[in-house]
Amino acid sequence: MKSKKYASVDVSHCVACGACEKTCPRGAIAVFRVGCLLCARTCPASAIFAKEREA
């Protein structure tokens, strides 16, 4: 099942701490078809956020 949301990164807030990379169970910062957004919840700089997919 495809997720309706995906992770997007605001590079101006990213501090390159690597928390998202360590947290992602799939070894990817952005999963395009199925995403759990765990990286967004883990990011201490709030640089990753959920966006709605366009139809």
Give CA separation, 47 vs 2, 4, 21, 23, 51, in Å. 23, 20, 13, 15, 12
pLDDT recorded at residue 33: 47
The pLDDT score that the predictor gives to residue 31 is 40
pLDDT tens track for 12-55: 888 778 788 788 887 776 444 466 778 888 888 888 887 777 76
pTM of the model: 0.45
